[in-house]
Amino acid sequence: MIQITIIGSGNVAQHLIKAFSASKFIEIKQAFSRKKEALLHLLDATKIVTSFDDLETADLYIISVSDNAILEVSSLLPFNNQLVVHTSGTSSIELLDSKNRRGVFYPLQTFSKNKKVDFSVIPFCLEAENTADYKVLETAAKSISTAVYSINSEQRKALHVAAVFVNNFTNHLYQIGQEICEENQVSFDILKPLILETADKIKTLNPVDAQTGPAKRHDSITTDAHLAFIQNENQKNIYKILTQSIQDNGKKL
Amino acid sequence: MIQITIIGSGNVAQHLIKAFSASKFIEIKQAFSRKKEALLHLLDATKIVTSFDDLETADLYIISVSDNAILEVSSLLPFNNQLVVHTSGTSSIELLDSKNRRGVFYPLQTFSKNKKVDFSVIPFCLEAENTADYKVLETAAKSISTAVYSINSEQRKALHVAAVFVNNFTNHLYQIGQEICEENQVSFDILKPLILETADKIKTLNPVDAQTGPAKRHDSITTDAHLAFIQNENQKNIYKILTQSIQDNGKKL
């Protein structure tokens, strides 16, 4: 049984409390929140503390606060040589105050408040300063997810950049697709099955093998016709650079 | 009961034969294939013809061949004033020989040979030259799908451009994400749940409302760090232009 204390009451903190509470291998020892009410729907009032001085000993302290508060919170903790981790994809392990044994416990997913999260498929990227601490993080992560990875800070940086491409930028392309539809009185709904199928294909196909379309075929009649059709200069520019990148196979180093 | 003859034996033709065969409102009258064997696993040998001269009267002839063969095939048909359609997303209705009544019967999806297709959710984009013919196409499409749309040739052009953004370009961003992972010894599998969740969100959220990330937050510390991390000039360029587009909200007309 691992005793875990969660520090924070935001989106990720709440999802973690819910998931750990359902595991028989984990005991939520305490949770810290500036306001007790924020967590009363998830935990017994006796387990919620509003002052760092009320924190008791636990096997693992998970700081789940905004990136720019991690440094301050970790330095305010009134104890030493305990295992303390943050949940950030972008912050280094070194951001944590070195008075404690440090680690990272990063669930790579976008969390929406109103959408149920199936933690069992969410990848957890773990990092610790020594093997024993890593084992604790691994046991904790495996109690709620089947996808657990050892990822150092440099690899996590690469993952975050890659995530921007496949999540933020992809979503922006959806937005452009929607705008092109709306400007031409076509329902964006028509494209939704295609969007879902495009994503679904990564389960079984390498993206490079799944690539189709006029750019891939070097079908310049169609790509020229598309560029003539697009009026928005920004969209035209994105069309050109991505078409070129597909034709160079993304390799222009 | 609508009698349909399919002309062609490729991917889309075979999927249509399968789907129509399962509908009680449709009878596959005949199918044309240069080689009989191509369709023997789907149809009775007596229904497969290898010469246009053997085509009998049907309510609807669906030409499902490559774009550059549509014109020739439609002109080789040995009859006039019948309802003849193609299944192409990029070709105009006018590409069909005008000796017959023309239309378009376009299933908007990427078809992979080895992946089962659930036709019931695939959007069909229909066009015809008169209302009576449109009704025939609509009945045929509704017998196999719940998503049926009236789309003229200009709207279909817009749809195809939008599809390039949400399908071809999105898949290319997946490829870049994979490359960044592999260059840094990180498994691309870690990003797959994020990719699926990003796509899934369009079911309930507008893309513009679902947008997250450092570009959206105007978090230049993170975007600068990402640009410093990316070594590939092509990826750097794509990162810059898509970040700028998100910050301008794609509006630079």
Both structure tokens of B139: 């009945």
> Quick check: is A94 in a domain?
yes
Write out chain A residues lying below 8 Å of B222, CB-based: 90
Nearest CA in chain B to A160: B226
Q: Which of B179, B192, B188 is nearest to B231 (CA)?
A: B179
Q: Are residues A112 and A215 in the same domain?
A: no
The band of A250, judged by pLDDT with boundaries at 50, 70 and 90, is low
CATH value at residue A217: 1.10.1040.20
Q: Which of A151, A177, A198 is the last residue of a domain?
A: A151
Partner residue opposite A253 with nearest CB, options B185, B200, B233: B233
Find, in chain A, the residue whose alpha carbon is nearest to that of B248: A234
Kindly state whether residues B16 and B41 are assigned to the same domain: yes
Instruction: Give per-residue pLDDT as tens, A46-75.
Output: 999 999 999 999 999 999 999 889 999 999
- A129 found inside a domain: yes
Q: Domain boundary residue among B118, B151, B184?
A: B151
pLDDT at B67: 87
| Sign of the dihedral through C-alpha A164, A201, B86, B65 | positive
* Contact assessment for residue A170 and residue A195, using Cβ atoms and an 8 Å cutoff: no
How many domains does one find in chain A? 2
Residues spanned by the domain of B53: 2-151
- Chain A residue with minimal CA distance to B118? A193
Domain assignment present for A43: yes
Contact B164/A214, CB-based, under 8 Å? yes
| pLDDT averaged over every residue in chain B | 93
Question: Which pLDDT tens digit goes with each residue over B128-187?
Answer: 999 999 999 999 999 999 999 999 989 999 999 999 999 999 999 999 999 999 999 999
Looking only at the bridges linking them, the beta strands covering B148-150 and B124-128 are parallel
**Chain A residues within an 8 Å CB radius of B210:** 171, 174
Q: Do A171 and A100 sit in the same domain of this protein?
A: no
- pLDDT band of residue B113 (cuts 50, 70, 90) is low
Looking up tokens 């105050």 gives: A97
Residue B119: band (very low, low, confident or very high) from pLDDT cuts 50, 70, 90: confident
In-domain check, residue A252: no
Best A122, A156, A170, A229 residue to mutate vs chain B (most B CBs within 10 Å): A170
Q: Looking at residues A129-145, what average pLDDT do you find? A: 97
- Distances from the Cα of A217 to the Cα of A246, A248, B25, angstroms: 10, 12, 38
Q: Which of A190, A203, A245 sits opposite B238 (nearest CB)?
A: A245
CA atoms of A48 and A6, how far apart (whole Å): 10
- Across chain B, how many H-helices and E-strands are there? 9, 8
Residue A105 clears pLDDT 70, i.e. is over it: yes
Domain identity same for B224 and B146:
no
Same domain membership, residue A80 and residue A180 = no
Residue that finishes a domain, picked among A151, A181, A198: A151
Name the band, by pLDDT with cuts 50, 70 and 90, for residue A117.
confident
pLDDT digits (tens, 9 = 90+) for B30-44: 999 999 999 999 999
Examine residue B253 and state whether it is found in any structural domain, yes or no.
Answer: no
Chain B residues near residue A250 by CB distance under 8 angstroms: 172, 175-176, 179, 232, 234-235
| pLDDT confidence band for A113 (50 / 70 / 90) | low
Band of the pLDDT at B250, cuts 50, 70, 90?
low
Give contacts of A191 with chain B, Cβ < 8 Å. 108, 159, 162-163, 166
Give contacts of A219 with chain B, Cβ < 8 Å: none
CB contact under 8 A, B159 and A175: no
- The domain that holds B140 is classified in CATH as 3.40.50.720
What does the pLDDT read at residue A112? 60
pLDDT band at A109 (very low <50, low <70, confident <90, very high): confident
Closest Cβ–Cβ partner in A186, A195, A207 for B166: A195
Locate the chain B residue with the closest alpha carbon to A146: B190
Q: Do B107 and B54 share a structural domain?
A: yes
Q: Tell me, yes or no, whether A112 and A203 share the same domain.
A: no
Partners of A185 on chain B (C-beta within 8 Å) are: 155
Residue partners of B239: CB distance under 8 A and separation at least 6: A164, A165, A169, B223, B226, B227, B230
Annotate B20-58 with DSSP letters as a single string: HHT-TTEEEEEEE-SSGGGGTTTS-GGGEESSGGG----
- For the segment A178-206, the average pLDDT, to the nearest whole number, is 95
| A126 Cα to chain B: minimum distance (Å) | 12
pLDDT mean over A89-98: 93
